[in-house]
Structure 1
């Protein structure tokens, strides 16, 4: 059976145009979400593994790796992006979706905001959780840059230099193995070339609510009564493994797997293992 090819598409949403890829097919629908300063190519290996027998939809969220700037008045806070994901599912009329996320912690906001009715299953891989916003040393460095005039431009200009990408304060703690430079070039190019894209990212980075609200979002996962899988990197140094265990305990039907030999971006470090866990999770009733 031939594998369906992913098709590049665009969707006009309230905040602006969102690009996405869709493998098509009649199998279970997975919507896979990436984190800050990257795009849907984060999931390229996982999609290649799952696309035969599953419909994989991969939007590029307005988190810095997007190529089309959002409207100037768009709400790109954590909650604003979570609402945009809900709008994306509605616009495509997707139901009983398996929502999968990496690095970005918007699932908590989505559930707390009562916009999870189209989600049949939830998969949370190593990501922002509880009050770990912005997460770890890379997140704090990004937040400091966003607060300074011209800071994001300067910070990402440094990432044109390939050795800078493996520093602990940039991407060195995100993956155990270097992400191919051509992939990272694609992630960073919009931030190198567009002040509007940098504006969008700044909105997100500075749009983190107070600690009490963040903790309330996490606690709201107690209300998610559908199957949930928490897949966490056992050696994560940005998103504490303890957070994965706590999230799995909060979710009424949550289960936990810890994936060895990986940092935060499991789709880069261990795509085959992650795809295997996803396949097994989807087979369960």
Structure 2
């Protein structure tokens, strides 16, 4: 009997290497696929206006029918779009550090970060690393690796994808109630952007979703708390397999 497939989708400016700590913990029970989103990692930079549908279409062919989707940050929005518009591909949906139906203040905050990235990409990168890692015990080598990945981005492509991240929750919001698959929403208790309130908001919007808040964790759960994330994910998938 073949192993179930878990597909991991990453966030803005990152690549599939984000998932290496988690993937190593899942590999004995699942077939793990971690495709780069369009404009990220090994994928060619995107040009012009990009939509959430474009990013989802760019990875849809790499997702086998009945896969368990796990999306982080922008990847969570892509995963939600696929669950809504390509339901035959999706057995379960896990949203890690996901935004949901931002308030006016939350929208203003992310748009301010976008403007900083547009005007001073290096300063934006430094601010992101502080927001994601300050106060954590993540190895400095991993932080440096994240920094190198961010700085290696094609700037125009990064900004195009960041605009999707900053706005696509508005597009997704009205359709969340139509996502019928079992779902899990996970974030860090100290995540300053994808806050516990957003995770609870997402869990309330989806018909069959539970919310999990990891105490003391910040934004980068796949590298900060991979073992805890793997535990929550495998427990969720194990329960779903018995339904």
Q: Unaligned stretches of 5+ in structure 2?
A: none
Question: Going by fraction, where is helix more abundant, 1 or 2?
Answer: 2
Instruction: State the Cα distance separating 1:78 from its structure 2 match.
Output: 3.0
What is the match of residue 129 of structure 1?
100
- For normalisation by structure 1, the TM-score amounts to 0.71
1:78 aligns with 2:35: no
Partners of 1:183 and 1:60 in 2: CA distance:
19
Assess if the C-alpha contact under 8 Å between 2:18 and 2:223 holds in 1.
yes
What secondary structure sits across from 1:82 in the alignment?
helix
What secondary structure sits across from 1:121 in the alignment?
strand
Q: Max radius of gyration: which structure?
A: 1
Choose the corresponding residue for 1:100, options 58, 70, 73: 70
Number of paired residues? 237
Distance 1:135 1:81, change over 3 A: farther
What is the match of residue 87 of structure 2?
116
Instruction: State the Cα distance separating 1:67 from its structure 2 match.
Output: 4.1
Choose the corresponding residue for 2:136, options 169, 177, 181: 177
What is the match of residue 10 of structure 1?
none
- For normalisation by structure 2, the TM-score amounts to 0.82
What secondary structure sits across from 1:47 in the alignment?
helix
Partners of 1:109 and 1:132 in 2: CA distance:
20
Q: Unaligned stretches of 5+ in structure 1?
A: 1-24, 160-164
Assess if the C-alpha contact under 8 Å between 1:232 and 1:244 holds in 2.
yes
1:50 aligns with 2:50: no
What is the match of residue 12 of structure 2?
36
Cα RMSD of the aligned pairs, angstroms, is 3.1
Question: Going by fraction, where is strand more abundant, 1 or 2?
Answer: 1
What is the match of residue 236 of structure 1?
191
Assess if the C-alpha contact under 8 Å between 2:11 and 2:73 holds in 1.
yes
What secondary structure sits across from 1:199 in the alignment?
helix
What is the match of residue 264 of structure 1?
219
Instruction: State the Cα distance separating 1:185 from its structure 2 match.
Output: 4.4
Choose the corresponding residue for 1:249, options 167, 189, 204: 204
What secondary structure sits across from 2:61 in the alignment?
helix
